Amino acid sequence: MDLTLKVWRQKNVSSQGQFITHPAKNISPDMSFLEMLDVINQELITKGDEPIAFDHDCREGICGMCSLMINGIAHGPEAGTTACQLHMRSFKDGDTITIEPWRARAFPILKDLIVDRSAFERVIQAGGYISVSTGSAPDANSIPVPKKDADFSMDAAACIGCGACVAACPNASAMLFVGAKISHLGVLPQGQVERYERAVTMVQQMDEEGFGNCTNAGECSAVCPKEISLDVIARMNRDLIKASFMQIAGKKVAGKK
């Protein structure tokens, strides 16, 4: 099939970007979306034009590196699917496809379709872990976890940190990402000791990075390639409210910007 691509091209973080139109001819429906971009890039190289820069790595929907806004939808039209697993059979001959990077103040554009997501790193560094040094763990079966809790924890832990939730949110809020981590760890017995402090410090860092607030639009969960539920945000808010009664203040975190 033949398509027309409108692709955001931007030289670097400090320059201005714009949409450039690239024709895409003879595209096979069996190609993945990124393989289609590979083909375009090979043509650009042949013509002597710089190829389109885009983030990608595992190409099997798990590393969270790919980050394309396709026709205004983070990761494109298929539910529960990353851009790398989206296939061209989801489009039809003659379509015009608009491809943009994630757009959020906390995710500056580095080049073309590539953004800087280091804000997520700093949020995790602010408390997204259980403090257990190597060697100090008890036998794994000494702490039983109800299956229901383990399953809920796994649902939240499935987050791949791609940032689609932020890109889709009208407020560029990171609450689905942060709520997922707080829920993954906070529901497990191992994560209880630091549960409320974790919620406070991670949310503090999230605010500091310039992510917006949640206004219950629900776009984040709708585009999430791992279909993480809005429940994690509710859970995060409950933990924050409890923390406020417990008078837990955030701690100063070293090593952040």
Partner 1 sequence: MATDTTTRTVTRPVTEFADTRLDSQIPDGPIEGTWDKHRVQMKLVNPANKRKYTIIVVGSGLAGASAAATMAELGYNVKCFFYQDSARRAHSIAAQGGINAAKNYRNDGDSIYRLFYDTVKGGDFRAREANVYRLAQVSLNIIDQCAAQGVPFAREYGGLLDNRSFGGAQVSRTFYARGQTGQQLLIGAYQALSRQVAAGKVQIFPRTEMLDLVLINDRARGIVTRDMVTGKIESHLGDAVVLGTGGYGNVFYLSTNAKGCNATAIWRAHRKGAFFANPCYTQIHPTCIPVSGDHQSKLTLMSESLRNDGRIWVPKKAGDTRDPRNIPEGERDYYLEERYPSFGNLVPRDVASRNAKQVCDDGRGVGSGGLGVYLDFSDAIKRLGEQVIRERYGNLFHMYQKITAENPYEVPMRIYPAVHYTMGGLWVDYNLMSSIPGLFVIGEANFSDHGANRLGASALMQGLADGYFVLPYTIGNYLAQATFDKVSVDHPSFRETEQEVDQRTKRLLAINGKRSVDSFHRELGKLVWDYCGMGRNEQGLQLALERIPALREEFWQNVRVLGDAADLNQELEKAGRVADFLEFAELMTTDALHRAESCGGHFREESQTPEGEAKRDDEHFSYAAAWQFTGVGKKPVLHKEPLEFEYVKPSQRSYK
- With CB under 8 A as the rule, give the number of residues binding partner 1: 83
Strands 18-24 and 109-111: unpaired
CB 215 → partner 1: shortest distance, Å? 27
Q: Which two tokens stand for residue 122?
A: 């700093």
**Is 39 or 230 the residue whose CB approaches partner 1 more closely?**
39
**Is 14 or 216 the residue whose CB approaches partner 1 more closely?**
14
**Main-chain phi, psi angles of 198, to 5 degrees:** -60, -45
Pick out residues in 142-181 that bind partner 1 (CB under 8 A): 143-147, 150, 153-154, 157-158, 160-161
Q: Which two tokens stand for residue 201?
A: 């410090």
Pick out residues in 47-86 that bind partner 1 (CB under 8 A): 48-51, 53, 55-65, 78, 80-81, 85
Q: Which two tokens stand for residue 87?
A: 């296939």
Termini Cα distance of the chain: 48
Binding partner 1 by CB under 8 A: which of 111, 164, 223, 248? 111
134, 35 in Cβ contact below 8 A?
no
168, 220 in Cβ contact below 8 A?
yes
**Main-chain phi, psi angles of 173, to 5 degrees:** -85, 145
CB neighbour list of residue 199: distance below 8 Å, 6 or more residues apart: 182, 186, 236, 239, 240, 243
- Here's the x/- map for partner 1, 193-232, by CB under 8 A: it reads as ----------------------------------------
Q: By CB under 8 A, is residue 132 in contact with partner 1?
A: yes
Pick out residues in 15-34 that bind partner 1 (CB under 8 A): 28, 30-32, 34
Binding partner 1 by CB under 8 A: which of 2, 20, 45, 215? 45
